[in-house]
Amino acid sequence: MKKIHLFIVLILVFVSCNKEKKTTIDVSKIQVAFSVDRFDVDFYTSTKNTLQKTKEKYPLLFPAQTPDSIWLAKINDKDEQELFAETQKIFSNFDDEKQELTTLFKHIKYYYPKFTSPKIITMLTNIDYENRVVLADSLLLISLDAYLGKNHPFYGDYPKYIKENNHKKHIIVDVAKSYISKQFPPNLDRTFLGKLIYEGKKMYFLDAYLPFVSDKEKSGYSVEKLAWATLNEEQVWKYFIDKKLLYDTDTKLNARFLDVAPFSKFYLSEDNKSPGQIGVFIGWQIVRSFMRENDVSLQELITIKASDLFKKSGYKPKK
């Protein structure tokens, strides 16, 4: 794989974040309305006298069998209050995030006119990074303590590739992904190519829903990892071809190239320089190539078979 210096890294990332032609969509006349309730604030400022009012405001978050003594102990716990205080430093208000969510919801509604904005509740979940955002029907839960900044001391023991996305600008990406996951049916194509393209389609939906968000943020990669993926795209594709992986159905390929991980596994000495999920990145580029060459709606994109999409994509990684 090619080696790269920091200066070139920065140039490559800038280019990769801007090389895709942005499709300008006028969403100014699209109306969306939603509320944001700060459960984190309401709960951690509750007292013995006001807890009942908080429970009435958020009945779904208070199981009937749990006594008030448990909730009051949680509210008064020193570590819990420290977590709340640190979260308030970053999210004393939610205005910027609400504006980003408004733009996202307008774009989703542009493509899916029947879309209905959710009720949003912000909360703390003791840094449950695997469930930062939970979408359940018309309710969207956002765990703010998972977005305090990648260098926050609370994340000291977390892997670097996980901490990379523990910042407030990544909330909008996680929310968009939660909707995209709901819009896609399960993937029944067991081939590696089928999985690449399935994931690539979902990434293209991110392009459509978040046209002003950078590739770095959408990919979740660090600057260096995104530059590696950009520079080595041709070599990665050649590896997939040479190893005859495209039509392989071995599920071990998921862990090597598709699952969230610190790096991808080519079984080469410099694997640790690669980003995890490099297969998702390659699938994304294939779908982008297809959409440049074909007049297809997002709804149609979901249903196109991977083999047909690949044949019509004209995909050729840049050298």
pLDDT of residue 173: 98
Per-residue pLDDT 10s for the chain (319 aa) are 665 555 555 555 555 544 454 567 899 999 999 999 999 999 999 999 999 999 999 999 999 999 999 999 999 999 999 999 999 999 999 999 999 999 999 999 999 999 999 999 999 999 998 899 999 989 999 999 999 999 999 999 999 999 999 999 999 999 999 999 999 999 999 999 999 999 999 999 999 999 999 999 999 999 999 999 999 999 999 999 999 999 999 999 999 999 999 999 999 999 999 999 999 999 999 999 999 999 999 999 999 999 999 999 999 997 7
Same domain as 177, residue 108 = yes
Same domain as 296, residue 219 = yes
Whether residue 318 lies inside any domain: the answer is no
pLDDT of residue 319: 72
pLDDT of residue 296: 96
Same domain as 159, residue 223 = no
Cα separation, 245 vs 239, whole angstroms: 8
pLDDT of residue 165: 96
Same domain as 213, residue 165 = no
Whether residue 319 lies inside any domain: the answer is no
Q: Which of 183, 198, 225 is the last residue of a domain?
A: 183
Both tokens assigned to 305: 């078979």
**pTM given for the model:** 0.93
pLDDT of residue 167: 97
Same domain as 162, residue 233 = no
Same domain as 243, residue 152 = no
Same domain as 283, residue 217 = yes
Q: Which of 162, 183, 204 is the last residue of a domain?
A: 183
The dihedral over CA atoms of 298, 98, 173, 147, expressed in degrees to the nearest 10, equals -170
pLDDT of residue 18: 47
Same domain as 16, residue 62 = no
Task: Give how many domains the chain has, as a whole number.
Answer: 2
Q: Which of 114, 149, 183 is the last residue of a domain?
A: 183
Domain that holds residue 143: 36-183
Same domain as 238, residue 168 = no
Same domain as 225, residue 136 = no
Whether residue 31 lies inside any domain: the answer is no
Same domain as 175, residue 92 = yes
What DSSP designation does 22 have? P
Strand partners, 38: 122
With tokens 């040479």, the residue in question is 242
